[in-house]
Structure 1
Amino acid sequence: CNLWEKYGSGMTNMHGSTGDLVLLGTRTENLEPLFYELTHDLNQDLGGSGSNLRTPSCCLGRARCEWGCYDTQALCHHLTMHYQDEIHRPAFPYKFKFKFSGCPNDCVAAIAAPTCCYRHLERYIRIDQL
C-alpha cells in the first residue's frame, strides 16, 4: 500500500472470490517505476498473462460451496498439468484462459472473460417458497 500511495491514488479494491487486488488511479508514467520497485527491490512476482496460456483459475467448488456440482479444483489442476508446457512454450495462436465455476453463482466470473469456460448449470439454485 505504501508503494501505491507513492505511485498511485492509494485506493485499492479486492475483487470478490477471484482474489484480484485492483490498484485504482495512476498515471501511465508511474507504472514502470512501480513495477521495478515491486520486482527488483521487493522481489515480488507480478505474474501476468504470459505469452499464450494464462494460469487457469477456479472457485472452491464442492470443497466449500454447498452449490458446487463438480470438483472444480481437480479439473483445474488436471488441465493445468496437461497444458503446463503451453504456459511456458506457447502453442496457441492467441492468449488462452481456462476458468472453472462449480455452480450457476459463477463466483469466479468464468463467464466474463476466459477463452474456455467450464460452468455447471444443471442444478439451478431455487428457493422453497411452500
Structure 2
Amino acid sequence: MKIKHLHHIAIICSNYQVSKAFYIEILGLTVINEIYREARQSYKLDLALNNQYLIELFSFPNPPKRPSRPEATGLRHLAFGVENIEKETIYLESKNIPVEPIRIDEITGKKFTFFSDPDNLPIEIYEV
C-alpha cells in the first residue's frame, strides 16, 4: 500500500449547529461543501484547514454516545499544530472553552494541551 496523505477525518456530532459553529467560528476551519441528505436525515459538512480538505462533520438522528475518557479503544484525539500554545490557550478560554494545563512532551520537549469539542471529543494543540 502506498498512502499519499491523510484524506479526511469523519466526525458525527450530536448537535449539528453547535458543532458547525465550533469548528468554523472557534477553530477557524472553512466550509468546502454542505449538503442535507433527506433520506438519511443527515447533514454532511466538508471542512478545510489552510485550503486542505480535513474534516467531514455529520449529523444523524440520535447517534449513540461513544466513550472517550477514560482512554477507550479507537480514535484517541485530533491534534492541531500551533505556533504559540499560550496565545491559543488564552483564545480558547476567552471563548469559554476549558483547556487543560499546558504540558511538555517528554520525548520532544514541545508544549501541548487538550480541550474538547461540543461532543467531548478530545482535541490537542501541539506547539510546532
- Tell me if TM exceeds 0.5: no
Which TM-score applies when normalising by structure 1?
A: 0.26
Bigger radius of gyration, 1 or 2?
1
